[in-house]
């Protein structure tokens, strides 16, 4: 009976370790996959790429108290899909001028910007002591 209990506990620990390990390796693979297109895009240096359908794609990568880029450039009048990826911590992204609020429940939005200019993107989820400085800029040309 004692051997069976020890065996069951060992099996439970093994399953827990395996489950946690798979989650981390999938997150890393996703991050690496989404990083490659932005780095190879010659059309725009600020992580904006053209989708196969002709729409613009922006990936906001959020880590502890910062976004991965200081600015993201898109074209006025062209459809754009913005996706929020949380690499570290739990963050949101708000662009008030376009009534956009991305968070864990709503990570992607597609819209067509109708005005040009520079628009602040701020973290919309309280994430700690550096929350107030977590900002970047969307530039619509």
For the chain of 141 residues, list the mean pLDDT of each consecutive stretch of 10. Answer: 72 54 37 35 43 76 90 96 90 93 90 96 86 91 95
What is the b/e burial string over 39-68, where b = at least 16 CB atoms within 10 angstroms of the residue's CB?
eeeeebebbbbeeeeeebbbbbbbeebbbb
Q: Is 101 exposed, middle or buried (0-12, 13-18, 19+ CB in 10 A)?
A: middle
CATH 2.60.40.420 fits 43-140, yes or no: yes
- Looking at residue 104, what is its pLDDT? 81
- Looking at residue 68, what is its pLDDT? 92
- Looking at residue 71, what is its pLDDT? 95
- Looking at residue 2, what is its pLDDT? 78
Model pTM score? 0.60
Per-residue CA distances from 135 to 5, 7, 65, 101 (Å):
52, 51, 8, 14
> In whole angstroms, what separates CA 54 from the centre of its chain?
21
């Amino acid at each position: 009976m004692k051997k069976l209990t020890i065996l069951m506990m060992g099996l439970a620990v093994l399953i827990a370790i395996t489950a946690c390990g798979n989650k981390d390796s999938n997150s890393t693979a996703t991050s690496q996959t989404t990083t490659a297109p932005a780095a190879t895009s010659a059309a725009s240096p600020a992580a904006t790429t053209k989708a196969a359908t002709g729409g613009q794609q922006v990936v906001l990568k959020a880590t502890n108290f910062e976004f991965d880029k200081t600015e993201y450039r898109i074209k006025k009048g062209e459809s754009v899909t913005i996706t929020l990826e949380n690499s570290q911590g739990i963050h949101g992204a708000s662009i008030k001028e376009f009534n956009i609020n991305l968070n864990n429940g709503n990570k992607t939005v597609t819209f067509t910007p109708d005005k040009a200019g520079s628009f602040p993107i701020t973290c919309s989820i309280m994430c700690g002591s550096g929350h107030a400085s977590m900002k970047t800029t969307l530039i619509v040309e």
